[in-house]
Structure 1
Amino acid sequence: MLPAIPLKKCIFIPLCLLLLSPSTRAQQSGIDSLQQTLNAHTQKDTIRVDLLNQLSRLYFTKDAVIAARFGEEARNLSGELGYTKGKIWANRNLALVENTKGNLDKQLEYTLAALKLAETQGDIRTLGILNNDIGNIFTEQNSPRDALVYLRKSLQLKEQLNETPEISKTLNNIGSAYIALKKTDSALIYLYQSEKLKKALHDERGLAYTYENMGIVAMLEEHYDVALQYHLLSAQYYKATDNQPGLTKASLNLAEVQTQLGDLKSAEKNLDAARALNEKLGNVKNEMIYYKIRFKLDSARNDYASALRHYKAFSERNIDYFNLEKSRQITRSQMKYETEKKQRENSMLKKEQQLHLATIQQQRVLVLSGAALFLALLLITVMVYRLYKHQQELYRQLNSKNQEVSLQNHIILEQNATLENLNQVKDKIFSVISHDLRSPLAILEGLLFLLKDEKMDAQQFRFYTDELWRDVKNTAYMMDNMLQWASNQMKGISVKSDDFDLTLLLNQEFELLQTLARQKDVKLSHELKSAILVYADPDMIRLVLRNLINNAIKFTPGGGEIIISSKFENGEAEVTIRDNGTGIPADDQHRIFSNIYYSTTGTRNEKGCGLGLHLSKDFVERNHGRIWFTSVHGEGSCFYFTVPLSDEQDINARGYTVVLQDNPVSGMSVLRR
């Protein structure tokens, strides 16, 4: 539990009115002194590299552009001099600059380059710092468990050297990782240790980060008064050390806490301050957080029009941020694949060149030998014969090599096809998640937020309940289809055939499907009265029934009718799903069961991912059945599929009874035989 801080120690002062502390003036004095020394030292040597790295480190929280300029010059000069230590710290400074912009992938690239060089030097202190940096990157990338591996290694290295300032930093960062894991008690243990060490060192710069983390813990525990006090302390220390990225985060944290406490005027001032600071930094993540807090502030003011506008801005940036991360991952995968492909091609070309050179060399030998053979006719005959045999061997070897190259090319083409297929699966999954699944969930999140904060009464919420339920159920069916399709595409699905009652399987799904139909005023009924024992995979046939019936509901307008019937023929059960809905245009009928994922909106703008019918066809055929349809545009459609009958049909003679019982937990009817 976080202790309360006496309010007299942290009276709120607007960030723009905080005066520079003595430590800030001392830091600025140090920067000016280093700048003068650098200007005076024009010789391109290791001393200049060290001065450039020191200035880059001091500037990265004040002015990222200047810090990047010093870091680039230090790295280039270190490369020219072969100065490994200078190159390590230049890469580390450039990584910190990328962090202020929110470019975590670029930061990780620079940090790993520095770590690789540091491992060749065996410098424990540098390795401790760089492992700490990598841990921080994984925390910001929402991978706290991976972060803890590097942070604990960093702490172990720093404890070997007993460097208290560096130990305090890593303790704070371990606390950050536990915050990301929502383990606040564990986080506070490390944060209190870090605070104790930093207070003893009078480390104002480090205390700003620790108090920010303590404020976040208090917010997670909903102790907003305590959170406000810690964030005020963090803001003061960030201001005192002229830490621009820290000031931006502090302003956002204060605005969020003040919104929760009802101090809306102060929250707006801090939001405006954060936006002004972030315009210079250009941090996309901070901009996304700004719109999220602005949405909460507008909701607290009952300004729902502005709240909706800012929530849309937050959602768009959230989706853009997700798509950006996805694009980066795809780009990295493609670059890696292209690099490996070029390496294989270069290796094959090199082998071919060696073979050609060997052939040319042998031809030269042949010419010289032919000139010498003029001296002796007998020797000519012997040498020509031997050279002919040797040349045949060379041609044989060359043909063998050509066959190897051809085989390797064939393997590469197969690998390309496999990778392209996997990329299509991945792109389809990303597309469905980022567009078809995120939209209904974002709308549901917004409505639940308004209901939670009592911005919308229960009667208004019930007005949207039926539509929300239908959208969420369609989204669940869409997710089920997508997961089954992805597993099928990756060859991870197998048929588990068994004897089961098709009528009972339909009845188990029918209650929920009837509820969906009633939502659209569509009559749904079936004519399967007796048991139909079939031999197939029940889970696959369940998905086929659900997809075909749900598809009929989707394209049948209000007042329409859907009838499910069956018949027996040639040892198969043939199931028919007939509707009088919109039907399928003749020009589009060839796409229904093709590999082209075809999807249109339903009569009430219901969405789909285009996988249901394609997946149904695959599952029916895997179970030795057939599937087809007939349709007339504007009059309706009939979908048919067959399932092999079981060898054991005695159950039809015995019969059974289906009883619907109410489930006291879910409120839905349960089938009992």
Structure 2
Amino acid sequence: MMKKKKCFYYTSMFLFISTFYLFSSARTGYTAQSPEDLMTKIDSLEQLLLYEEACVLTHELLEQYANFDETDRVLLCRAYLKKSFCFGDEGKTVESIVVLEKALAIAMQIKDSTLLSIGYRELGYRSTIAGNYEQGFEAYRNALEIDTKLNAYENIAISLNAIGKIHELWKQFDKALDFFYQSLAIAEHLNNLDQIAIRKASIASAYKSMQNFDLALDYLERSLALETELNNEVRMGYRMDQMGEIFTILGDFEKAEEKLLSALEIFRNNRILVSESIVLNHIGFNYMKKNDYENALNRYIESLAIAEQTGFNNMKQKNLRELSSLMQKKKNYSEALEYYKQFVAIRDSAFTEQARRQLLDFQVKYESEHKEKELAIMNQKRLEDQLKLNQARQQHILMFGIVTILIFLLGTLYSRFQIKKRAQIKLSEANRQLNLMNQTKNKFFTILAHDLKNPIYAFRNISTSVHENYAELSREDLKYYTGELKNTSEKLCAFLDDLLKWAASITGRLVPKADSIELKPLFEKLVDLCSPMAKSKKLSISVDIPNGHLVWADRNMINTIFRNIISNAIKFTPENGWIKIQSNMQSIHTEIKISDSGIGILPKDLPKLFDIGNDPSRIGNSNDKGMGFGLFLCKEFIDKNNGEIRAESQPGNGTIFQIVLPNKQPK
């Protein structure tokens, strides 16, 4: 036992000293070293799994020696390949592709087949991630041709599997399965358990896309068993992600969530951004199927952010499409339409007709080469069978021509029908949007009339009373009436100010100027401004906000938001009531809660509070109904400051407004 401990101790010390020496030399004083020595250190760091340090050293090597004519071209090509891997691991897909093209240019100059094969396979992978399937397909085709000449069967299996994945993305599932099974056969012949596990997972993915879920789960369980046996944590995460997605489709949401969360933890621990984006999307889909729309929305947005960071266009499309569906379920049709427009814009550029033609060319070339190899080893019987087949083909030429003409005519008629149908759909949608805009315009004018009515009527009534009874009024009466005129004019000015701000906001002239704002002094000032109104109704207003609670927002907009909400609370709270203002600061956002003991709001009216398409005069329970124009402006300003607002209420139990705003500047 003591010997084992000593052995472990000396081994650990050796690795520590080696790592320290390698990394410290990467940081200081190696400018006099040759590029060969630096590459040796990079390889050593990678063997010790110190990939970040290896990346640092690779970047610095290229900065010093990339432009030296004396630098070994093979070594320089290897350095560029390593740099592309580093960019890929950092989620910088575009930068990775740019560096790969430099590496491939050098490999072509020196005619190094091995480096060309590595470069093309990596280019195929990065291009596929970026959604450029045409470039990815071409790169894998080049790698397959080179590896076939080199008899590099393991690499042939990798390229065949990758080409199958692109067929799967193009929804050509039978062809995808053909390539997957070819790749699996090579892996089994080589008895490569790692590759066998991956190939079975690829086959499962194709069966899942074909909705053959039983076969898909069977292959995934076989693959996961191999990955567990090999103790390959990352690929165990891939399999659990695939299984979780299938369980969601089958309606077993709890089992799906268990698998997906386990996969997410693995990918986050290993900082695999692309896979993290995929599994977050699958978790969002699982939540949406469970009708848990808020959690679904959060996961989709996280997945979309990572996909945009890494240039993962395929996952960007998937997130945008599913976000559009989610917003339709939430009846937020404007957001649903916006997400769908973004999805269509990316989708239309992802797969061109040129890619289809190149795919066909490659298929013909690949099949021809395969047949030539088979012909070289065929016996006489195979040749006779081929001759009979050719004769049969000649006999059916006439029939084939007739069928082709009929298909062409039917296709033309169908195409014209579809064009006409799409035009009718567009016209109907345009009419619907026009009617909706007219309805919204009418309701907007109703809102303005409702909120202007009370102040203007008050002006008229007070001024009429003063005018008709001037001789009989005492100084106290005059002071009271002029005070009422002052209060009414201030309310009217505040409303008109809000209206002008809203108009500037929707026309794009009002741009938020965010800053760090401490909440406690802001609310204390607002409460002082509103205290005359509160005192007139004998209301108590308490501010329970600790020092140091912040938000990152536009100060003027935030003042307008909270002033409107507090004014509404005073307006709808009976005498001797209370209003409380509280805050809860978390890591990236702060939640502000404004509650009152007012008359409350009916549940059916809550969804209408922030919708400009609803008549505010129908909301509320008091004689003075309506939240007024202010809440629409609050919603507009909170959206511009990347926040959220929601309300909770029951008639007779008061109302709680919750506002969530960021407390840090977005990175």
| Same-fold call, TM cutoff 0.5 | no
- The TM-score, its normalising length taken from structure 1, stands at 0.44
- The TM-score, its normalising length taken from structure 2, stands at 0.45
